[in-house]
Amino acid sequence: MPQPNRPTRRAGSPPPPPLPVRRAGGPPPRRRRDKPRWGVRIAAGFSLVVLGSGAVGHAVMTGLDTGIERVDPFKDMKNRPQAGHGLNVLLVGTDGRDRITPDEKREYRLGGAPCHCTDTIMLVHLSADKARASVVSLPRDSYAEVPAHQDQVTGKEHKAHPVKLNAAYAEGGPNLTVRTVENLTRVKIDHYLEVDFTSFMRTVDAMGGVEICTAKAMHDTYTGLDLLPGSHRLTGGQALQYVRSRHVDGASDLGRMQRQQRFVAALIKQATGGGVLLNPVKFKQVSSTLLGSVRADRGFGSEQMLALGQAMRDFTPSSSEFASVPVGDPAYPVKGIGSTVKWDEPKAAKLFESLRQDRPLAAPATPGKSGKAGRPAAVTVDVPPQQIRVQVENGTRIDGLGGRVDAALRATGFDTTRAPAGGASREVRRTVIAYDPRWDRSARTVAAALPGSELRAVAGQGRTVLVIAGADYKKVAPVRAEDPHQGAFGVVTGDQVVCGSDG
């Protein structure tokens, strides 16, 4: 698709400030030195003073609270988790396609009826020292149990019962959503912020678009996403396609959460890079756009936005970290509900305990990228090997080869069947990776672990990747996910996923 140009100054935006004029009787003007960076430094310093000054900062933000639609997500809540350290915001993305224009619906493939449910759920933690933001994605299909509540439409009393997490909003709105998340995580929510399609697009456009990088082409016929490899500055509508796409490959919601985390990291990078937080006028424009088209609790408004802007002035991409709740069973069946995502409860408990204790989720960075004891660095791949089911067959007459390949793949992290079988042919010279085209990213991840192997698409094979070990097999190369969802907490930092990173 044609690449959008980087935005220029919008019509109607404030003109550049006038040059200073010498006052009568004043001292002669100083000769301008040939150091253009001084102007940038002075402008940045002035901006910081403006945002850092309580009086002027509040003057800049005056009147922004009037456009916020208020909700009371904490009404009548009892037996809540104990407050920890830092600040916790539940960020909810809702469908909201009933609030966009017919032209936008056609252009961004937003047909159909709105589901009145949560499309995205993120728990955002800002550390007490304001030096770190931790973002945890909660799969919308997570198995959850909503507490007893009153139906917001019919007024009928409901007992506690199991649901997919995103259905809590449809049954009881923000209040039941907060109660359900707090019950699941035991993390006390301080603020609630709800963003729909309209507010998302407007906010991205107010920031001048957001830069996203992709190593491979991304196509989704459902949302209309069509990106070639490279760097792209996405408009609000294009960004919506990017974060909503679930059919780029077989990774479905897990892949979509990766893209959402990448997008948030890019958003933080742009906001803290000087284009928004260091420009009072731009900061007010973005804040007013966001606050004018969201729903929030009564305690979240312009003062909180100003405090958040001040807190994030010294942020860098590495100041943000992203994790997804560790998954135990991605297809946990529940009668009357269908397939749900079951969390790995011990790992999830450790993750949320870290949030309560205000501890970083990511391990401290270590110098160098090689493995322990001089082992070669792992090859970066798209899909975490823990998510890939592999069946190994021995395609040679070499006794025990299938077992060795199975064990080596399992040691690298792949979910092997641990039951290698004999292949239909015993004369396979080159290792073959047979895969269903719907899971092509998974197949490429396996191929990275088996250099020189042949990829062979087999329609209808299903999600299990078949490895037929050939006579050329030597060893399995270590691989690591570009955006891992397993491991301790599957944590990546912002500098690992934004444009310009080498991750």
Torsion, CA 254, CA 255, CA 257, CA 260, rounded to 10: 180
pLDDT tens readout for residues 201-229: 888 888 888 888 887 788 888 788 888 88
CB 173 within 8 A of CB 158: no
**pLDDT at position 10 over 80:** no
Position 185 confidence tier, pLDDT thresholds 50, 70, 90: very high
CB 233 within 8 A of CB 6: yes
Q: What residues are paired with 329 via a beta bridge?
A: 342
* pLDDT for residue 395: 95
Any idea which of 93-102, 160-169, 327-336, 365-374 has the lowest mean pLDDT?
Answer: 365-374
- Between these two residues, 138 and 67, which has the higher pLDDT value? 138
Give the other-Cβ count within 10 Å of 364's Cβ: 5
Any idea which of 366-380, 387-401, 487-501 has the lowest mean pLDDT?
Answer: 366-380
Task: Copy the structure tokens of residue 147.
Answer: 């507490």
**pLDDT at position 24 over 70:** no
- Between these two residues, 490 and 9, which has the higher pLDDT value? 490
**pLDDT at position 277 over 80:** no
- Between these two residues, 453 and 199, which has the higher pLDDT value? 453
* pLDDT for residue 105: 65
CA 56 → CA 248, 310, 311, distances in Å?
47, 13, 17
* pLDDT for residue 413: 87
User: Across the chain, what does the average pLDDT equal?
Assistant: 77
* pLDDT for residue 143: 95
Percentage of the residues of the chain whose pLDDT score is greater than 90? 30
**pLDDT at position 250 over 60:** no
**pLDDT at position 464 over 50:** yes
Q: Nearest-CA neighbor of 300 among 69, 60, 56?
A: 69
Give the end-to-end CA distance of the chain in Å, rounded to a whole number.
26
**pLDDT at position 242 over 80:** yes
* pLDDT for residue 471: 95
* pLDDT, mean of residues 190-195: 90
Output b/e per residue, 456-466; b: 16+ Cβ within 10 A. Answer: eeeeebeebbb
Strands 218-220 and 225-227, how do they pair?
antiparallel
